[in-house]
């Protein structure tokens, strides 16, 4: 890449030098100047083109999940969008492994917590079954089931 700039610099300086009488120090200065201009132009030409899409994503903060959203919540497990691990509940995992609170996790991937819960269906069914059993057990008391 630098050699292209160098070649171009030489061509420009030679064609310029052939038209005007430059002393050696002037020639060196001109080479430096032309080279710097070309190098900076090339830098500007390359960097924004490849950086632009990434910058756009960063600005939105939302990360694009690599796993199709329809696959992340199943009966037996939920998939962590951060690392792709499958588990019954992600609550503890995202906190320990990725230092994310559930709220941050949903925000990070722009998820709807109602559509994509952090626990698999089997787990939440077991939880609600347990809650029901507890309510049965507490029948006769005035306590409301809290869990
Ligand atoms: Zn994970």
Give one DSSP letter per residue of 112-130, joined into a string: -TTTS-SB-HHHHHHHHHH
Q: How far does residue 101's CA lie from ligand 1's centre (Å)?
A: 12
CA distance 144 to 147: 10
pLDDT by residue (tens digit) across 6-50? 899 889 888 888 888 878 888 889 889 988 888 887 775 444 444
- Please state the rounded mean pLDDT for residues 67-71: 90
Q: How far does residue 75's CA lie from ligand 1's centre (Å)?
A: 18
Q: How far does residue 56's CA lie from ligand 1's centre (Å)?
A: 24
- Please state the rounded mean pLDDT for residues 90-112: 95
The second-level CATH assignment, the architecture, of 69-137 is Orthogonal Bundle (1.10)
3-state secondary structure of 73: strand
Tokens of 64: 């694009």
Contact 62, 112 (CB under 8 A): no
Domain boundaries, the chain: 2-60, 69-137
Q: How far does residue 100's CA lie from ligand 1's centre (Å)?
A: 10
What pLDDT does 44 receive? Answer: 58
Q: For residue 140, is pLDDT > 80? A: no
Q: How far does residue 59's CA lie from ligand 1's centre (Å)?
A: 23
Q: How confident is the model at residue 101 (pLDDT cuts 50, 70, 90)?
A: very high
- Please state the rounded mean pLDDT for residues 53-80: 78
Q: For residue 54, is pLDDT > 70? A: no
Report field, pTM of the whole predicted structure over 0.95: no
């Amino acid at each position: 890449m630098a050699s292209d700039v160098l070649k171009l610099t030489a061509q420009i300086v030679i064609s310029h030098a052939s038209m005007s009488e430059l002393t050696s120090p002037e020639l060196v200065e001109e080479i430096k100047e032309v080279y710097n201009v070309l190098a900076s132009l090339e830098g500007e030409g390359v960097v924004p083109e490849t950086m632009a899409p990434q910058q756009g994503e960063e600005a939105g903060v939302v990360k694009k999940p690599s796993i199709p959203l329809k696959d992340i919540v199943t009966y037996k497990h939920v998939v962590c969008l951060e690392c792709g691990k499958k588990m019954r509940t992600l609550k503890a995992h995202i906190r320990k492994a990725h230092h994310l609170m559930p709220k941050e996790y949903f925000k990070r991937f722009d998820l709807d917590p109602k559509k994509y819960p952090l626990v698999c269906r089997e787990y939440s069914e077991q939880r609600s079954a347990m809650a029901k059993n507890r309510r049965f057990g507490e029948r006769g008391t005035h306590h409301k089931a809290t869990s």
